[in-house]
Structure 1
């Protein structure tokens, strides 16, 4: 299958269905070209993350820049700063860190070692998220942004999830699930209140939600399999 070698039927089907939906929206609803590019590159990025592939970061570079530009047009300044100032440079850091932590039995040098978060790690993660969400929410309110608390929560959760992703923790997916649910609400609210034709953003986040559920299951399997191999 070439590019789809070592992909499951679910992964191929998931990507195919959501890509078709995006293309349909592009023509039926006069969706923006940038929105289509951002959505498809984003879906390729997250499905490759779920598979534990380093190549996810290359698509992440495209998605973060295009998404930041679209979010700016809707006054979602938290999303803009998150993607342009954090996600974009982090893609390059991720490429380096993941290449330093490959498994011995990798596929094309892309499978990475998976870790699991401890109870203490969870405690510090949750406390940090709560404190930063409140502080960042007031900052976005000062800037005059829209949906500041939802925007703040999605941004802080996204940063925490990205850090766990860089460190290869399977629990990153629990945070990504929360981010995706909040992001669907955020974009639905923005599109209904301000108008616009970037419905591909809703499709993208819905696809991300499905993928995050699959990603958690797959990474837990990878962690258990790698733990048994070590023993």
Structure 2
């Protein structure tokens, strides 16, 4: 399989293992077909993102559309709006922006893009903006009658920050994705316990995302250092 020729053993085992788990849960828990599609396309999407591949956005188009539909059914309006109104159209922006900043050479890690790092001033602007919008959005969700509004707001605004950093190719995006994934696991665990439902694949998906985001930060940091070393 030529498309996997520059994938590490970890990446291959990782995506195969969680695909098998999701397929098992689909039959064992009578999961929804949309849940299965969302989970598998989501895992492929984040693994490709961790590798710095432009094709991550093609799988992201499918994952964001199906995930928005599932979230709406659980009353997670923050997640619904985030995916339908932000993530989905942003996938097309990502394809355009990443294509404009391809790396001069592809390393063994398979990264296709030039990566960047945040400065101290950049961190200040990011953290300040997040705090203000997070509180404001929580009150908006409360007015809409949403559930788990503080976690929902945090995952939504953290996701927007992480996505913007991702579009701009900053390696620090992965620190925000780690936070998003931890909170999303809590969000879906609460939703499934309080409302029932059989979309267990959502928990599996976010757990997979969490591990992948840790790997993504490690991989992007390594590639970034190599690229900076060549530029020096």
Shorter-chain TM-score above 0.5: yes
What residue in structure 1 maps to residue 35 of structure 2? 35
**Cα pair 2:111 2:223 within 8 Å, conserved:** no
Q: How do residues 26-65 of structure 1 correspond to structure 2 at under 5 angstroms?
A: 26-65=26-65
Deviation at 1:110, TM superposition (A): 6.4
What residue in structure 2 maps to residue 222 of structure 1? 223
- In the alignment, the residues of structure 1 paired with residue 106 and residue 86 of structure 2 have an alpha-carbon distance, to the nearest angstrom, of 28
- In the alignment, the residues of structure 2 paired with residue 201 and residue 2 of structure 1 have an alpha-carbon distance, to the nearest angstrom, of 30
Structure 1: gaps of 5 or more residues: none
What residue in structure 1 maps to residue 76 of structure 2? 76
Aligned length: 230
CA distances 1:109-146 after superposition (whole Å, capped 9, x unpaired): 96100000011101110111111110000000000001
- In the alignment, the residues of structure 1 paired with residue 31 and residue 202 of structure 2 have an alpha-carbon distance, to the nearest angstrom, of 10
Deviation at 1:189, TM superposition (A): 0.2
SS of alignment partner, residue 54 of structure 1: coil
**Cα pair 1:103 1:111 within 8 Å, conserved:** yes
- In the alignment, the residues of structure 2 paired with residue 64 and residue 110 of structure 1 have an alpha-carbon distance, to the nearest angstrom, of 23
SS of alignment partner, residue 38 of structure 1: helix
What residue in structure 2 maps to residue 204 of structure 1? 205
- In the alignment, the residues of structure 2 paired with residue 78 and residue 112 of structure 1 have an alpha-carbon distance, to the nearest angstrom, of 31
**Cα pair 1:50 1:216 within 8 Å, conserved:** yes
What residue in structure 2 maps to residue 116 of structure 1? 117
Deviation at 1:106, TM superposition (A): 3.3
1:158 aligns with 2:159: yes
- In the alignment, the residues of structure 2 paired with residue 86 and residue 112 of structure 1 have an alpha-carbon distance, to the nearest angstrom, of 23
Structure 2: gaps of 5 or more residues: none
**Cα pair 1:78 1:151 within 8 Å, conserved:** yes
Deviation at 1:18, TM superposition (A): 0.7
- In the alignment, the residues of structure 1 paired with residue 10 and residue 142 of structure 2 have an alpha-carbon distance, to the nearest angstrom, of 41
TM-score if structure 2 supplies the norm length? 0.98
1:9 aligns with 2:9: yes
Deviation at 1:5, TM superposition (A): 1.2
- In the alignment, the residues of structure 2 paired with residue 19 and residue 103 of structure 1 have an alpha-carbon distance, to the nearest angstrom, of 30
CA RMSD of aligned residues (A): 1.0
Structure 1 stretches of 4+ with a deviation exceeding 3 A read none
What residue in structure 2 maps to residue 23 of structure 1? 23
- In the alignment, the residues of structure 2 paired with residue 93 and residue 69 of structure 1 have an alpha-carbon distance, to the nearest angstrom, of 21
**Cα pair 1:99 1:110 within 8 Å, conserved:** no
SS of alignment partner, residue 203 of structure 1: helix
